Structure 1
Amino acid sequence: MRKLRQSLFILIACVSLSSCATLFGGKVTEYQKTRPAPGEPQRELRIGALVADVLLFWPSLAVDFATGAIYKPKAATTK
């Protein structure tokens, strides 16, 4: 019983503490949350966060894609 409880705790901790882009990517902007309209360029992925999610805990990809944190923020335009 104790081993089951420890395993469950570890599983819950992994799920809640995963999602590299969500935890370490900073604030998610409106640009990252909004899907591009037809004809607009696709958003770029954060490759480092994608690789980290795949290697560490692949179900966390769902969290990063759902929050939009896996996408790079829009670059500031300078005039």
Structure 2
Amino acid sequence: MRKLKHTLFVLIACVLLSSCATLFGGKVTEYQKTRPAAGEPQRELRIGALVADILLFWPSLAVDFATGAIYKPKSATTK
């Protein structure tokens, strides 16, 4: 019984500490990780990942912001 409780705790912790953009957003680029300097345009958010984080994974929303996965990767046309 104790092993079952431990396993359930680990499973629940993994679900709560995982976040949508981190899991499904692909590799996080250097552009996503780097904060824009003063005067540079702000990075765009992935709206779908933000909504999914709020509805499904709200305790771990900070994970996406900390890793930069919540931001859209730099497109080929963006300089």
Q: TM-score, normalised by structure 2?
A: 0.82
Work out the number of aligned pairs and report it. Answer: 76
Q: Tell me how far 1:19 sits from its aligned partner.
A: 0.6
CA offsets, 1:5-61, max 9 Å, x none? 265244213124x31101110111100000000000000000000000000020121
- Give ranges in structure 1 of 5+ residues lacking alignment: none
Please tell me whether residue 48 in structure 1 is matched to residue 41 in structure 2: no
Note the C-alpha offset of 1:77.
2.2
Q: Which moved more, 1:60-69 or 1:4-13?
A: 4-13
Equivalent position SS for 1:31: helix
1:13 and 2:14 are equivalent in the alignment: yes
Equivalent in the alignment of 2:32? 32
What is aligned with 2:71? 71
Query: Which 4+ runs in 1 deviate beyond 2 A?
Result: 6-11
2:20 touches 2:57 (CA, 8 Å); kept in 1? no
TM superposition score normalised by structure 1: 0.82
* Distance in 1 separating the partners of 2:14 and 2:22: 15
Structure-2 separation of matches of 1:27 and 1:9: 25
Identity %: 80
Name structure 2 gaps, 5 residues minimum. Answer: none
CA RMSD in angstroms comes to 2.0
